[in-house]
Amino acid sequence: MRFDDRFLDELKARLRPSEVIGRSVKLKRQGREWVGLSPFTKEKSPSFYVNDDKGFYHDFSSGKHGDVISFLQETERLSFREAIERLAAEAGLQLPAEDPRAAEMEHKRQGLQDWLELAAKWFEAELRRPGAADARAYLAKRGLPEDQWGRFRLGYAPAGRTALKDVLVQRGAKPAELVEAGLLISPEGGGQPYDRFRDRIIFPIVDGRGRVISFGGRAMNPDDKAKYLNGPETSLFHKGRNLYGLPEARKILGSGADDAAPVVVEGYMDVIACQRAGVAAVAAMGTALTEEQMELLWRIHSEPVLCFDGDKAGLRAAFRSIDRALPQLKAGRSFRFCLLSGGQDPDDLLRDKGALALRDQLSDTKPFVEVLFQRERDAEPLDTPERRAGLKSRLRAVAAAIQDKDLSEQYRNDLFTRFDGLFPRDVSSGAAPAGRGRGEWRRGGAPALSGATEGGRRAANSLAQTLDATAAAVAQGAIDDPARLDERLEEIEACGFGDPALDGLAKEIIRLRLQADTLDRDALTRHLAKSGLGALLREVERAALKSGAPFLAPEKTLADARGLWSQAFDALSRLSALERALASGKTEDLFGSDPEAFKRLKAERDALRRAIKTGTIWADDGS
């Protein structure tokens, strides 16, 4: 009986490897992993590791690596089906009903699998025969020594039209089976099938369990139309659902740094070069990453690295992958980019500069959002208002392509912040530097915001000022959790958030809160943006991040965050009241009869200013 990938994924998702394996191996927690003595060899120092997050075990003493299914097969000598039945019962998961047709198809697939495995062994043997001298010379030229051929099961397909076919037919294969396995080509106009791979270095393609499912071949004849040739789609091999080098990459990840990410490169030799250097690399076999391949990568790491040559062709390939990935991004599911310099690919780097240089370049990565912005920024010159407006429109469109609403909003904010950074304002003249115009700006540096409320205009006019970080944090806390406003509306109306630049924002928030029965963060943000305060919101968020305010920390409970926010608001309110009292008192000579009162209030104000500025206002936070 064949179990589909969805069933197997669900089964493994319901079980913690440390719990299953821990019944037969004594495990001890060590950071994010579990460690114990190897169940496969006799050892005194533990070298057997289990990682629940990644769903696998790795044994350094024996080199064995796998999941809970293979562990039961290895340690209890169970068949694959027996291991599945055992684990399904433990997970409370019902086995799929056995379909006679499905059983027949599985039997047929197993037969094809056997012929592919036999073909792989024959290709391996042929690489060492006299007829493969040119292939061996090519591998030597590429810096791949003979002692590494077996690790990657490299082979050679002779130039004869039916060399492989003749061998397998003698072993009992039917030509139709070999056509179905992708090993032979059946001529469209009729005639006898012939070998698909001829005079090529062979790279076996294996599935997640290490079983050969197809081949890739590199032509030895420079005049061959197809330099690289992959096997066709079959019942075993779906190009868009598999990644070349995945099982070996998983082994490398299991034996390396816990936070190491897989690297997606462009070709077979690049994968081999990286894996030889200890980098967990895979390849998509000549196509842009598919959604299924992305899912495979995200099961391994939240931010796999996409590696491309730094030339124009490499950038085009990187940009194509961006479009495919954008709708799939979510919190905890993204990519980073590595754009190699000097026009070299990983294989070139390994041969010319060694493994250390290769690992160093592959560790130099850029976030997804940075490469996305670079693509849109460089699409055309930005020397006219129309072209700058075009960039902003493109940024808005790519952010909207992300289906996850929260992440889409974050991308939009980040991309617009980068946009703002391209065209800094000249505050003294209210104009942007020549040739780099940001759009239309009013005198004094305020953006021309059509449809803005009076409060919105006042807030926009204050953007040229530097926001007080603590005041910005209090404003951000109110936006994040509008329920904090309910008991403080009158105070906020009286003194705002403690910075005159935020008075317009405070009044608009109060107006919206009084009009709405309920107001959550998303609704409040949308209303404020429509009121012409979108630019100010970005300024507030940027300044709040610098404040160190503990009530913005994600680990704080809601009750603690609200309490700390009130503490900050009270401090700013008190400071505002002191400022007003001192200003009016000096003007009206209210302290003439009691000059010491003026000094006391001034000392209190100065101390409170210092506490806010230095962060000692949070000294009793306990964090």
- At 258 the pLDDT is 53
User: How far apart are the C-alpha atoms of 12 and 84, rounded to whole Å?
Assistant: 10
pLDDT at 595: 65
Give the number of other Cβ atoms within 10 Å of residue 293's Cβ: 23
Q: Delimit the CATH 3.90.980.10 region(s) of the chain.
A: 100-237
CATH for 100-237 is 3.90.980.10
The CB density around residue 118, as the number of other CB atoms within 10 Å, is 17
How far is it, in rounded angstroms, from Cα 141 to Cα 564? 66
Is residue 102 exposed (0-12), middle (13-18) or buried (19+ Cβ within 10 Å)?
middle
Q: Select, from the ranges 156-160, 439-443, 526-530, 594-598, the one with the highest average predicted confidence (pLDDT).
A: 156-160
Fold observed for domain 246-374: Dna Topoisomerase Vi A Subunit; Chain: A, domain 2 (3.40.1360)
Q: Which residue has the higher pLDDT, 121 or 284?
A: 121
Least confident of 28-42, 56-70, 580-594: 580-594
Q: What is the pLDDT of residue 6?
A: 80
How far apart (Å, rounded) are the C-alpha atoms in residues 447 and 461? 7
Whole-number pLDDT of residue 470: 85
pTM assigned to the model = 0.58
* pLDDT at position 457: 47
Determine the Cα angle at 151 with ends 150 and 157, to 5°. Answer: 45
* Residue at 35: amino acid letter: V
**Is the pLDDT assigned to residue 586 strictly greater than 60?**
no
- Length of the chain as a residue count: 623
Measuring CA to CA, which residue among 80, 64, 61 is closest to residue 72? 80
* Averaged pLDDT score across all residues of the chain: 82
Collapsed DSSP state (helix, strand, coil) of residue 202: strand
State the pLDDT at residue 68.
92
Q: Residue range 53-62: average pLDDT?
A: 87
Kind and range of the H or E run holding 98: none
Higher pLDDT, 406 or 594: 406
pLDDT of 436 reads 37
CATH 3.90.950.20 for domain 5-91, yes or no, is: no
CB 213 within 8 A of CB 237: yes
Distance CA 396, CA 415 (A): 8
State which amino acid sits at residue 285: M
Residue 256 has pLDDT above 80, yes or no: no
Alpha carbon distance 489, 494 (integer Å): 9
Please report the pLDDT score of residue 96 as a whole number.
Answer: 81
CA–CA gap between residue 274 and residue 360 (Å, rounded):
12
Mark 153-189 as b/e (b = at least 16 C-beta within 10 Å). Answer: bbbbbbeeeebbbeebeeeebebebbbbbbbbeeeee
Task: Indicate where the chain has its CATH 3.40.1360.10 domain(s).
Answer: 246-374
CA torsion 169→203→294→360, rounded to 10°?
Answer: 170
What pLDDT, on a 0 to 100 scale, did the predictor assign at position 356? 85
Mean pLDDT: which of 28-32, 164-168, 185-189, 317-321 is highest?
Answer: 164-168
Cα distance between residue 261 and residue 266, in whole Å? 16
pLDDT at 445 over 70: no
Q: What is the Cα–Cα distance from 154 to 527, expressed in whole angstroms?
A: 62
In the chain, residues under CATH classification 3.90.580.10 are 5-91
Residue 49's pLDDT band (boundaries 50, 70, 90)?
very high
Residue 149 CA to residue 147 CA, distance in Å, equals: 6
- Tens-digit pLDDT profile for residues 461-506: 444 346 788 888 888 988 888 887 777 777 787 778 888 888 888 8
Q: Name the least confident of 77-91, 375-389, 393-407, 429-443.
A: 429-443
Q: With residue 128 as reference, give the H or E element that holds it.
A: none
Which pLDDT value is given to residue 446?
34
Contact present, 200 and 229 (Cβ < 8 Å): yes
> Cα dist. 76→21, 79, 85, 604 in Å?
12, 9, 14, 75
> For residues 250 and 246, what is the distance between their CA atoms, to the nearest angstrom?
6
Q: Is the predicted pLDDT of residue 64 greater than 90, yes or no? A: no
Percent of the chain with pLDDT over 70: 86
The tens digit of pLDDT for each residue in 327-337 reads: 999 988 999 99
At 213-246, the pLDDT tens digits run 999 999 999 888 889 999 999 989 998 889 999 8
